[in-house]
Structure 1
Amino acid sequence: MDVVELSRLQFAVTTSIHWLFTVLTLGLVPLVAVVHTRAALARTPEKRELFERMARFWGQLYVINYALGIVTGLVMEFQFGLNWSGLSKYAGNVFGAPLALETMIAFFAESTFLGLWIFGWGRLRRGVHAALIWLVALTAYASAYWIMVANGFMQNPVGHEVRGGTAYLTDFGALLSNPNTLVALGHIASAALVAGGLFMAGVSAYHFIRRTRHTAFFRGSLRLGVATAALASLPLYPFGEAQLKEFAEQQPVKAALFDGALDRASRAALEAAGGHAPPEWLWIPAKVMVDLGWVLSVAPLVALVLLPRDLLVRFRPTAWAMVALVPLPFAASVCGWLFREIGRQPWLVYGELTVAEAVSDVSPAAVLVSLVLFSTVLGALAVADWVLIARSAHRGPEGVRLGAPEPEPAPWEDAVPEWLDSGPDGRSTAATARRGT
């Protein structure tokens, strides 16, 4: 493999792994904010305690995913300079601003609000504390928006002009309102909320299978998760259809591949005319994405119908079905990302800058070494993330450490024995200190 293929493979691996963290982050944080708000507004101590325990439990799972996901995001950001310096030279004046804003929001604003929320339990007023997690959710989606502004420019370059082989931003409003950006963000937000809702519902169903004694806790979580997934599934398909219409106008070859109209004769004619056709195997992730999308659009609605009287978890097959749904949104999201990105090859900035022109002037051996190292580290982080999340989810509310009160000192630490606290004259040093003598 040459340096171009190795660099593409490295970016695909690191971005796919990072995306798994991102989907759960975007999908889970609004649900944590909802339960924390219900705790802040609860009128009875019993309700307040229940919703606070829910916020701490689901918040702990969110924090685990966020902490490990930040590291994968750093690796992904570094690759723009390490592997794709040609992109910075050509489109840095346009591409750099959204990435800088995303970095400031994610690594400064979002992390700051999250830190205040983590350490604010028992220290801040209830309303202020609940507002912090909403600010975390808001900045998380703002961060996603700026990433999609950058990606939307690569898919559909707008709001710029090229002078001397370099792109210069001329219309910031056009960049922000790029149809490719807005439609993709709607699709991603819907998919993330479906993923977060099914994750919450699946973990809750698992505890019902284990005959949990925390029935009110997981019944409330199950209902919130199913309702969120059901509502988010409604715009999921329309946003996907809107993206295909955008592709039909902006990237007709990609749209033809999706519709099955790019047969071998069309592919040969396109390549003979000097064009480029996406790889033939790309129809596989496209089909997987669509098939899983139908499942994810219908299953939450069916689960919503079965919620009354706990019918969804009263029968073990339906409860296990909810658990089995948990990984499907993540698989569909990765397949969708593969189709979106690989389908526009060989262009990095569609119609203007090719991948070969954007790759850095480094040796294949150097990229291979970084590919192995990055893949190993990020793969280990992904495994660690899911192991830690699975363990915390398995333990249930008893294993929550987020927001837990400080442990009481042991009885033998409360008081010092008088024989140990006496001075040379036999008098208590503590009593002497109190008298100031």
Structure 2
Amino acid sequence: MEALDLARWQFGITTVYHFIFVPLTIGLSLLVAMMQTVAVRSKDPVRKDAWTRLTKFFGSMLIVNFGIGIATGIVQEFQFGMNWSEYARYVGDVFGAPLALEGLLAFFLESVFLGLWIFGWNKLPEKIHLLTIWMVAIGTMLSAYFIIAANSFMQHPVGAMLNPETGRAELDPSQGSILSVLTNVTTLAAFPHVISGAWLVAAAFVTGVAGWHMVRHHNKARQLGLDSVDGAEHNLMSRNVFRPAVRFGVVAMFVSAVVLVISGDFQAKIMFEQQPMKMASAEALCETQSGAPFSILTVGGPNAFEADCESVTHLIEVPYVTSILATYDPGATLQGVDDLNAQYKEQFGETTTDIFGNEVEADYRPNLFVTYWSFRLMIGLAAFSAIVAFWALWVTRGKGENARTTGSKAFAWFTVLAIPMPFLANSAGWVFTEMGRQPWVVHPNPLDPTVRLMTIQGVSSNPGWMVLTSLVTFTLLYGVLAVVWFYLMRKAALKGIPIPQRDEQTDELDTPAISFGY
């Protein structure tokens, strides 16, 4: 494999791996902040105690996830200098600005206030302490916004011009400069979609973990007998602690799903205008077509893993859906992959020059197999969350004395099975976003295509063995971190919440601190 392929594999592996932790941190910080808000505002001491325990329980897992997310995220920015130095040279004056804002504003904000939140229990005033976790949640979303702004510039460059003397892209004051980059329409469309995806990840996580413990305490209560002291305590844990957490997670899932659908629809319209090739490759639409259908199943021939339209066969299709996704018009005409490729060759040239000055044939088609199936995985994996949400609402129906819990082991296992599905859907979405942009690392703006860069022109001139060495090293290191992360998260999740005990002298419930047994 050439250095370019190895560099792309390394960036893909480290990015997808890092993004396992990002959405859970973003979503869980908000949900934990909401849990603590419920606890602080509760007048009923039993309810207050339950939500405080839930806050600390899920907060302990937020801490673990945040720490490993930092360790894996540092590598991301170093790669721009190591493997993609030509890209950094070309667009660093623009791309570096939102990254600097992310580090100076968002990261320090969330990390400082997370420290205050961790060590401020029973030391800071209750409402001030609550404010710290909200600042963490705000910081994580700010961090996401600046990163998305940087990525959106790669998808749709605005606010910049090409300096012919230096051959570099620079911020252009006449176009609004950094403000244009931060208010890029692509950023404004992508941000709510990414954030709502993070909420779905965290909501599924809360629902899955709480659902497991609700079933466990329900069955333990029946096993010991509801009339016994221990049985009654397990029943209260199931009904008063984990059942509310399950329903809280389900509500968050529904809210995130609504925002996901609306923002995703908006993104599809923008994608059709800015990157019609990506829209066509999402459907593997090879020929220009009016009233383009949406295929449920497509198979390929011997060249199915390449950008080869001759091997694509659509088996099951839903009429007009792709045209509706792109324009709301069921009869709209969408350009096909082959026609767009011919158009781009005429516009940008049939050949291009790599970093060594070699002239190579230009192919403006992305990998159809990856774009087609990653787009469908992004959508299809959300079905698990929908099933869990409706199932959880059914088994926990009722209010007051009629509120129900369940001892269904099938429900418990399915909630656990559904936890990784939004993670995978998020990763599939990013694979589609980045692979669908190929062969561009900076996709040309249709209105002003002067600022553009092909992937083949952005890689460093490192020898292949050097990139391979770092690729193997990072992959093995990340494998070890994956085991550590899974062990710590599983340990914290299985630990559950201790049954509250009353102090004989004060008659108050004990409230354990966040565990640091990591």
What is the TM-score of this pair, normalised by structure 1?
A: 0.87
SS at match of 1:161: strand
Tell whether 2:268 aligns with 1:235: no
Matches within 5 A, 1:278-427: 278-282=366-370, 283-297=372-386, 299-301=388-390, 303-309=392-398, 313-351=406-444, 352-398=452-498, 402-403=513-514
> Which amino acid is the alignment partner of residue 151 of structure 1?
N
Identity score, percent: 37
SS at match of 1:151: helix
Q: Please, which runs of 5 or more residues in structure 1 have no aligned partner?
A: 406-437
Counterpart position of 1:89:
89
Moved more, 157-166 or 134-143: 157-166
Q: Do 2:216 and 2:407's aligned partners in 1 also have CA atoms closer than 8 Å?
A: no
CA distance in 2, matches of 1:89, 1:297: 45
> Which amino acid is the alignment partner of residue 168 of structure 1?
E
Q: Do 1:60 and 1:401's aligned partners in 2 also have CA atoms closer than 8 Å?
A: no
CA displacement, residues 23-73 of structure 1 (integer Å, 9 cap, x when unaligned) = 110111111101111222222433332222111111001001001110000
Tell whether 2:42 aligns with 1:37: no
CA distance 1:271–1:260, shift in 2 (3 Å): closer
CA distance in 1, matches of 2:380, 2:286: 20
Matches within 5 A, 1:215-226: 215=238, 216-226=240-250
SS at match of 1:313: coil
Cα RMSD for the two superposed structures: 2.2
Alpha-carbon distance, 1:155 to partner: 0.4
Q: Do 1:190 and 1:235's aligned partners in 2 also have CA atoms closer than 8 Å?
A: yes
Tell whether 2:365 aligns with 1:277: yes
CA distance 1:97–1:11, shift in 2 (3 Å): same
Q: Do 1:247 and 1:255's aligned partners in 2 also have CA atoms closer than 8 Å?
A: yes
- Larger fraction in helix: 1
CA distance in 2, matches of 1:191, 1:94: 27
CA distance 1:340–1:94, shift in 2 (3 Å): same
Matches within 5 A, 1:177-196: 177-196=183-202
SS at match of 1:167: strand
CA displacement, residues 300-341 of structure 1 (integer Å, 9 cap, x when unaligned) = 355335431466734333333222211110011111110000
Alpha-carbon distance, 1:259 to partner: 2.6
Tell whether 2:143 aligns with 1:119: no
CA distance in 1, matches of 2:168, 2:109: 32
What is the TM-score of this pair, normalised by structure 2?
A: 0.74
CA distance in 2, matches of 1:86, 1:305: 56
> Which amino acid is the alignment partner of residue 54 of structure 1?
L
> Which amino acid is the alignment partner of residue 193 of structure 1?
W
Q: Do 1:313 and 1:319's aligned partners in 2 also have CA atoms closer than 8 Å?
A: no
Counterpart position of 1:167:
169
CA displacement, residues 164-193 of structure 1 (integer Å, 9 cap, x when unaligned) = 221111222321121211211111111111
Corresponding residue pairs, total = 406
CA distance in 1, matches of 2:84, 2:50: 50
CA displacement, residues 204-232 of structure 1 (integer Å, 9 cap, x when unaligned) = 11112323622222112111111111111
Q: Do 1:253 and 1:262's aligned partners in 2 also have CA atoms closer than 8 Å?
A: no
User: Which of the pair has the greater relative contact order for Cα pairs under 8 Å at 6+ separation?
Assistant: 1
CA distance 1:39–1:112, shift in 2 (3 Å): same
CA distance in 2, matches of 1:404, 1:123: 17
> Which amino acid is the alignment partner of residue 259 of structure 1?
E
